[in-house]
Amino acid sequence: MAIDAFLGKWCLISSEGFEEYMKELGVGMAMRKMGSMAKPDVYIIKDGDTITVKTESTFKTSQFSFKLGEKFEENTLDGRKTQTLVSLKDDGSLIQEQEWDGKKTTITRKLVDGQFDGGV
């Protein structure tokens, strides 16, 4: 599957593991509950070889841009500065790997039956 399959506007159908992910990052309980209830719109846009992921919810809007397979510095919503690598796997999953302070997280985005799944 090419990155083009991800382009467009998506309503997140699942973010399985997101609350646990936020807990591991040290996010407080109230913010975890709000974050896990959010069903944001996700826009994935391609301009040349640069891809932008914009996430909009009633709580917050964020975005980051990258080139597949190239590390970049990401400023996350929770204030971390990470070295991030986004790649497209053979199974069609879009994998975002973040590294900071000796820690590492992986966010997996995929299309399931024509819908967007942004599980952690």
pLDDT, tens digit only, all 120 positions of the chain: 589 999 999 987 666 666 676 667 677 777 766 666 667 788 999 999 999 999 887 777 889 999 999 999 999 877 889 999 999 999 889 999 999 999 998 988 888 888 887 665
Give 116's strand partners: 111
* Number of helices and strands in the chain (H, E): 2, 9
Q: Model-level pTM?
A: 0.79
pLDDT attached to residue 54:
94
Task: Specify the amino acid at residue 7.
Answer: L
pLDDT attached to residue 29:
74
pLDDT attached to residue 57:
78
* Residues counted in the chain: 120
Taken in order of first residue, the domains within the chain and their CATH numbers are 3-117 (2.40.128.20)
Q: Look at residue 53 and give its three-state secondary structure.
A: strand
pLDDT attached to residue 14:
60
pLDDT attached to residue 55:
86
pLDDT attached to residue 33:
64
pLDDT attached to residue 1:
58
pLDDT attached to residue 20:
73
